[in-house]
Chains A and B, each alone.
Chain A
Amino acid sequence: MRCKEYEPLLSELIDEALPPRQVWEVERHLAVCNRCALVYNDLKRTVATLHSLGSSTPSPEFTEELAHQLQALGNRKAPLRELVGSYVRRVVLTRTVAAAVFVSLLGMAVFSTPRWLNQAAPLAPQRPPVPKYAAMDRSEFMALAVNDPLQDVSAISLESHTSTTNHSNRVPGVQH
């Protein structure tokens, strides 16, 4: 290695940041190279002086002014970023919930109703209405009609009923 290659290592040697093998190499070079030894000593003194430079103290008002600034921040309800964040969170949350409810309802509407109910149900064969008195013979009919408070017996046409008495053996509710 030449001197130019050793120079960057001198800085790390001062910081004790070199691995042992490189320390050994650099120190061996310094022992035989006066120029690098002088550079090393100058760098060491520069660094020592840097380390001895003192600190500066901010003015006594520094902490008080900072406290005022922090207090002003605390008095605000929330920093702008938090406000924006909470607004976005709120909007996103509301819309997500609304969308979820909508999709659920839609799903229930589509999938919970049997398909056969969505189609027009085939009509059961319509049975012709069986007249209440159709299966009765005349005497039964008259007995019932007399006891029926809603039935005006006088309004019953005997002739119209006669036409139905032909089916005297009929069983009510059974179509013949």
Chain B
Amino acid sequence: MIGVASAEASLILRCKENDEAAFNEIVERHKVKLYTYILRMVGNSQDAEDLAQEAFVRAYLSIKSFEGRASLTTWLFRIATNLCIDRARRSSTRQVIQTTSLDDVDENGTPYTGDLPDGRYEPQDRVLQDELKTELEAAISRLPEKLRMVILLHDLEGLQYDEIAEVLHCPLGTVKSRIFSARQALREQLSNYLYGSV
């Protein structure tokens, strides 16, 4: 972990010295995470690409003022989150967010799976599991924006409570309660697929 942190610090230092290769490396390291997060926030691949590029451009312009108090990942997610919030504010009516369906195909014509095979379940369970994932993606897109942000940052991107508090500029307690509310909302929406919904 320390090695990762020092490698990141070294990359940032190189970026501050106008080393373009270092910034390209940052882009390569973070583009999938950032794009996935933004895609789930805005629900549209073209907008997600535009916003992800804008996030990197903003990072490029302000990397010299990056002080390293937060991790680079947290900082990038903060930029991306602010862009998503700005975009949501700009759009006068909230659009219904489309989610990636299992019927979608990628550029190679391969059906979208978006996940690794889970060997814990029998074939019928796997079908159920796939349906659950599809439903879950749809349920995430229906969450209120504030709950969607925390659940994406925590359960999909792996940020800790304190890092999310930093990204969203809100107290730790708020983060915890939002994560719980988001999980509860998802659990209720997925009640048909879960074992013991009450």
Interface residues of A (CB under 8 A from B): 7-8, 10-12, 15, 17, 35, 38-39, 41-43, 45-47, 49-60, 62-63, 65-67, 69-70, 73-74, 79
A41-B195, A70-B20, A70-B23 as given contacts; A46 in contact with B183, CB under 8 Å: yes
Of A12, A15, A45, A66, chain B has the most CB atoms within 10 Å of the CB of: A66
- B residues within 8 A CB of A59? 45, 49, 107
* Residues B115 and A62 in contact, CB atoms below 8 Å apart: no
Judge if B78 is at the interface, Cβ distance under 8 Å: no
* Residues A66 and B116 in contact, CB atoms below 8 Å apart: no
Bound complex: CA of A22 vs CA of B152, how far in Å?
Answer: 26
Bound complex: CA of A49 vs CA of B114, how far in Å?
Answer: 12
- A residues within 8 A CB of B20? 70, 74
Shortest Cβ distance from B194 into A: residue = A42
- B residues within 8 A CB of A52? 115-116, 118, 133
Bound complex: CA of A79 vs CA of B31, how far in Å?
Answer: 24
Partner among B36, B129, B176 whose Cβ is within 8 Å of the Cβ of A49 = B129
* Residues A47 and B114 in contact, CB atoms below 8 Å apart: no
Partner among B24, B32, B106, B151 whose Cβ is within 8 Å of the Cβ of A67 = B24
* Residues A69 and B53 in contact, CB atoms below 8 Å apart: yes
B146 CB → nearest A CB, Å = 16
Shortest Cβ distance from A72 into B: residue = B57
Judge if B98 is at the interface, Cβ distance under 8 Å: no
Name 18 interchain pairs, CB-CB below 8 A, sorted by A: A7-B180, A8-B180, A11-B176, A12-B176, A12-B180, A35-B198, A38-B195, A38-B196, A38-B198, A42-B191, A43-B187, A46-B190, A52-B133, A53-B115, A55-B114, A58-B31, A63-B28, A70-B20
- A residues within 8 A CB of B56? 66, 70
Of A12, A58, A69, A73, chain B has the most CB atoms within 10 Å of the CB of: A58
Judge if B113 is at the interface, Cβ distance under 8 Å: yes
Partner among B49, B176, B190 whose Cβ is within 8 Å of the Cβ of A58 = B49
- B residues within 8 A CB of A7? 180, 184
Partner among A10, A47, A69 whose Cβ is within 8 Å of the Cβ of B155 = A47
A42-B195, A70-B20 as given contacts; A56 in contact with B180, CB under 8 Å: no
A11-B183, A45-B194, A63-B31 as given contacts; A50 in contact with B155, CB under 8 Å: yes
A46-B183, A67-B24 as given contacts; A73 in contact with B57, CB under 8 Å: yes
Bound complex: CA of A15 vs CA of B153, how far in Å?
Answer: 14
Judge if B137 is at the interface, Cβ distance under 8 Å: yes
- For chain B, the bracket of interface size reads 35 or more
A39-B198, A49-B133, A58-B49 as given contacts; A70 in contact with B57, CB under 8 Å: yes
A173 CB → nearest B CB, Å = 81
- B residues within 8 A CB of A69? 53, 57
Name the interface residues of B143-198: CB closer than 8 Å to any CB of A.
151, 154-156, 161, 176-177, 179-180, 183-184, 186-187, 190-191, 194-198
Judge if B77 is at the interface, Cβ distance under 8 Å: no
- A residues within 8 A CB of B136? 46, 49-50, 53
- Knowing that A12-B176, A46-B187 touch, tell me 6 more A-B residue pairs with CB under 8 angstroms: A39-B187, A39-B196, A41-B195, A43-B184, A52-B116, A66-B27
Partner among B137, B161, B176 whose Cβ is within 8 Å of the Cβ of A8 = B176
- B residues within 8 A CB of A42? 187, 191, 194-197
* Residues B137 and A62 in contact, CB atoms below 8 Å apart: no
Shortest Cβ distance from B61 into A: residue = A79
